[in-house]
Structure 1
C-alpha cells in the first residue's frame, strides 16, 4: 500500500469546539416503540411486511429489537426487494412521532441481501442463522461452537450475543461495516468499507483503517491508493496504547461517523433539518482518487474530460452523462487489442496525472521508448513519464493537477483511415484532380442507383407492411410518431447494436420499455422480420418479451420490456470487485438461460434455434433474472426435422464446430450455452487477446487445468464468494464441459441441463474422456479464423 500524504492536524481542536452535543429529545424512546431490547432463544422472525402503516414500515424497517435511538431488524430498500439484517439509527420528528430519517450503521449481509419472507432464527441448538426465502443460509456469526442463548441491543447500538451464563460470545462492534457510533472503537485490524454507491449496500472500493498508528483512508486497487494519512482526524478522539496511537472512537459532538461511497469520511449530527454531515478529512476535493470517475480530470471548476487539458484539437472522450460530469468519461472509440497499429496517445499538459501509478515499467528509459512499450502492451491504458521513469496505468482513474512535471499519455484508438502521407506539392495537386474526378463520377452513379432503389423499395415496403398486418398473434403495432412520444424523441439512449440504437421509453400505461431503432436495409429487414415472427407470439419468463413493433415506410423499430441491469457481459467481464456477482446470482442466471433455451427447443409449436447465444444477448432485470434476447439470427425447425441446412451465422468463439458443414441442430445452442457458462464461472471471455498466448483460449486453458487437476484456478478471482464456493463452481464447470463436446450427439439437451441444475439427473460420462472429445487448441484457433465477417453477428 502506498502511503505518502502529509496533512496538518490544526483543524482538530477548532472542529471539536464547534460541533454541538445532540439533545436526546430528538429521539423517541424504545418503550414507545413497544419492541424489546433483548430476546431469548429459541425464537424466529420472518421478514414479512406489516399492514400497520407505522413509521417503521414507511422507513422500510421491520424491527426485532429497539433501544433508545437504535433498532435492529430487517431494513429493506424502497421497492422492498433487497433487505439487510441490520442495526439502524433513527431520527424521529418530535411533532408527530413520524419517522423522517433512518440510517443503517451496521449490517450482517451487505454483500448478499435477502428477499421478502427471509427468516432470522435462533435455534434450540444455539445457532443464529439468517436464511433467504429459499431457505439458504446467508449469514451466521462465528461463536467458536458455543451456544447462543440471547440477543441484546444496547443503547449504544451494539448487537451482542450471550450464552446461558451471560457470557458475551459476539458483538457487532467488533465487525464494523461503513459506520462507527458513539461508544464504538475502531482498532488496528478493523476496516471501515464504504458502500458501492449511495443506493447500493455492497462493499465499495473506499476504505478507512488504523494502520501503524495512523489514520489511513485509501481506495482498494492494485496497488492500494492512499488519499489521507495522519495521526489525527477531526471529530475523533484518539486513544494511545503504550505511548502509541492505537484506536479512536466517535467524539461526543457527533452521533455517528460514516465512510461514504464517494470516499468522504463524515461525522453526522442531528439538526432540526435532519442528519447533517461534516467532512473529517482536511483535503481538497481533487485528492479523492475517483472524484471524477474513470478518465475524468478534476479541475477547479469541476470535472472534465482529458481533451480539455491536452494540446490535441481532436476529441477522443466525452462525458458518460453530460448532466453529471463526476460520473467520468468514456472513449468515443474503445481501445481494441486487435487494432493496436491504429492506436496513439493523447498527451496531457505537464503536471496532470493520476495520483498513484499502477506499475513501474522502467526507471531508466527514454520517453519515446516508454510510449512504444505501452502501445505494445494491451493492458496499458496510459503511461506517465517522470524523471526518466516510465509508469504503466492499467486503469485510468481520476486525474488531477500536480506540482510535478510529469507527462501523462492516454492511449486512444484512431480511425481506421490512416493519416494521409505528405506528398510533394505538384503531386498533391495532380492527385487531388484525379481523386476529385473519380469521386464525382462515383457520386453520380450512386445518386442514380439510390433513386432506382428507393422506387423499388417503396413498393416492397408496402407489400411487407400488408403482410405483417395479416399475420395472426402479433404483438402491438405502433406508429412511428407513437414511439417518438414514448421515447421523448429518442432522447434517452441506452446503447448501440450492430443494426441500430436502443432507447428507453415509457408507454402511456406507465410500463418502461426499450425501443430498438433499426437502421439499414437487406440484413436489417430480414433480422426484423425474423424477430417479429419468432418471438412475437411466444411468452416465457426467461425470454425477453416483444411488446410491439413499428413497420412504417423505412422505419423499423422493435419494442421490448425494459431490463434494468442491462446485458450479462457488463457484469461478468468487469474486473471491478464491487460489481462482481455472487455465486448464488451466477447460478440463478445460468439456470434461467437454460430454462429459456429448453422452452425454445422443446415447448414451442416449432423448434426455435437461437443461433447467437452470448453474454451480450442475455439481459438482466432489476432482480438479476436472466432472459434470452435478440432473435434476429434464429431459425425455425419443424418438429419432424432433426437437423437443418442453413448459412453460417453467429459470433466467433460461441459457434459449434458443426457449422463448418452448415448442417446444424438445436445442439449448436447447447454448445454456445456451455461457452457462456464457462465465461460466467471464470469471469473472462472465451478468447482473450490480453492473456498469455497459451491462455488466450478458455477451452484450451480449461482442458489443460482439468488434466492437471487444477480447475479451481479458473474460478473468478474478482469474487470472494465465488472462491468460497469453488467446489460447487467446479461441478458446474463439468456440466459446461458436457455441453461443449465436438460431437453434437454427445451433448445433452437443454431440458436435461435444467434437470441437472435442479438435482434430478447426474452428469453422465467421464470428464477426462468426454471433454472436447479430441478438440485441440489448434482446431479451435483454425475454426475461429476461417469464419467470414459477413456471416457473423456483431454487437446487437
Structure 2
C-alpha cells in the first residue's frame, strides 16, 4: 500500500501494487464509491473491499495478510490509524503500542520522513523504492532504488532490477559519497544505520511542520519535493541523477533521450513509438519501431548482414521469405534432399558460421598443403619486413616534416583568425613544467601545473581531462577562446593538442596571488591579514565586469557555469581574473556530469542545475551572488560559525549562524540589518553604502525564479552606484528554510 498526491492535492491510496487484479480495474477500484478500507472482524486483517473481475459483487481485493505470529489475541478489536507522519498502522485494540502492520514497511515510489528503505537482515527482505509503470498505473515500473545486495552501505538505482545506472556512494558518516551536498540540508537529517537486524537509510525532519517527500519517478530520477505553503506548490530541491537521460534505457530500443525537451523521449526519423498509448502515459520503455521494416534484397546483402554481426550464427535467404538471421542455437534441423522442398518455389540453403580451421578442413587441405603454405608465408613475411623497414625510415622522416609543416600551418591559421595563441608540443610543455612536478591546483576538468616558457615567462598549464572532442573541433574552440581578452579574464596564451585526450592542454598567464579562495580562506590564524573592504569591493566589481563581458561583450554569449572562489584568480595588484571560461563548450555534453560531481561546486550552482531545467546566463548571476556573500562575510557559505576564526570576542562569534549562511544573511538583509552580515574581522571598517548595495545585489542574484534575477550588466550598474537597488524579497525557498532554522 502507498499514497501519493494528485495534481489537485487529493490523497489517493494504492493497494495490491505487486500483483494488481487488472491494470484498469485495480486502479479504478481505489476510486470506486463501492470500495472501502476496513478491519476484518474475523481475523483482524486490514482489507480493501471492492469490485473484482471475477465477481459483480464487492469482495476482498487486498489484505494485510497478518502472519500467525503477529495476530493479536483479540483480532476483532484491531484498529487502523493514520498517523501524523503519514504512516497507516494496524494496531492491537487492546494494546495500541503493538503495531501489527504498517505502510512504512511497504514503500512504493515515495519515501516520506520517518519511513526507510534498506534490508531486513533477519527476514532477508529488501525495502525499495519502485517507480510506477506509467502516470496512471501504480504497478511496479522499470526503475528501483535499493541498497547494495553485496552488503555495503551504497544504494543503487537499477533498471529492470538488474542494470545499475546510478550509485549513491558509500556512507561517510555524514553523507553518501556521491551526494556531498546532503550535509547542507536544513530540512531533514538523513541517516544510514546498520545493526545486526537491519541496514537502512531514513530521514528525520528538523521541524514536523515541514511537508516533503522523495519520489522515484517515471524518468528513473529520485526527486526531493518541498511543499511551499505560500505559493501552494511543490518545489524540487534535489534530484539524482541530475538529468533524466542518465537513466539507463529510459527511452527503450531506438529511442532518443533529449534532456531539453518535455517529454524527454523521441523517436528518430523513420521510427514511431512502439506503443503510442504508453508513450502518452510517460512510459517510454517500449521504445520505437521502424515504420517500414528492413529487408535484405539479395543473398549477398543477407550474408553481409550476418558477417557484420559477431553474434550471428547462421543465415538463410529465399525469394519468398527474404533474409533470416539466427543469433542463438538451432533445434529440429533436418537434412533435406532433392525433391524434399515440397511446394516451395524458391528453396534456400542454410549457411552456418564456422571457424577458419574448420573451413580449411572442409576444403580438403592436408598437412602437405600446410607445410607448403608455411614456407610461402615465411617468404612473404621476410619480403614484407624488408619493405616495412624501408617504409618505416621514410615514415619517420615524413612525420618530422609533417610536424614542422603542421606547426607552421597552425601558426598561419592562428594569424588568419586574429589569434596570438602559441602552439606547443607535448614535449615542450613537459619540459616547461619539469615533467608536471609543481601542481598549482585542480578540479573535475583537469589539473593545473606551474611552468616557465621562453626561458623566463611563468605560465599555468592546465592538463584537460574528460575531453572527448576531436582534434579539429578542439582547435576551433580554442582559437575562438584566444580572441576573448578582457582585463578581468585570465588570458589564454597557447595550447597543445597532440590528437589524444590525454595530451590536450591549455596555457594561461600565471597569477602570483593565487585564487580568491586562498586569499579569503587560506589563513585561519588570528595573525593572518584580513582583506580590507576596499579590496573586497574591488574584487566584486572586477568579477561582475568579467561576467558582463562574457555574457554581452562577446560575439556569442559565453556562460561560465562554474563561478566560485577557486575559479577567480588574483594578479599582483589583486585585480580579479576569471579562469576556466569556455570550458562548457570545450567539454560539451560531459560538462554537466563533471560539474555536478566536483567537490565544492554544488553550493554555487543555481537551482536549475539540480532540477534539470535549461541553463541561461542567469545561472552565473546566481553563482556570483553566492560568491558575493562570501566576500562580504569572509567565510564559506557552507561553514558554521564555530568552524571559522573571526578574531573577535566569544560573544560576537556566538552570534554567527551555524546553518547555510545565505539563509541567515537573506533574512538579515530583508530586515535592513546589513551590518550583521559583514565580516567581524573588519571591525566595522566598511562603506555602509557599498555594503548595503552588495548585500542587496547578492540577495537579488540568488532568487529562485530565473526571471527575478538581474543580468550581470544590471549587477555591475548596481555595484557602481549607477542605479539604485531596493530591498529584495527573501527567495521563497530560503524564506521557508529560514523559518525552520
* Same structural fold, with TM-score higher than 0.5 when normalized by the shorter chain: no
TM-score calculated relative to the size of structure 1:
0.35
| Greater Rg over alpha carbons, structure | 2
Higher strand share: 1
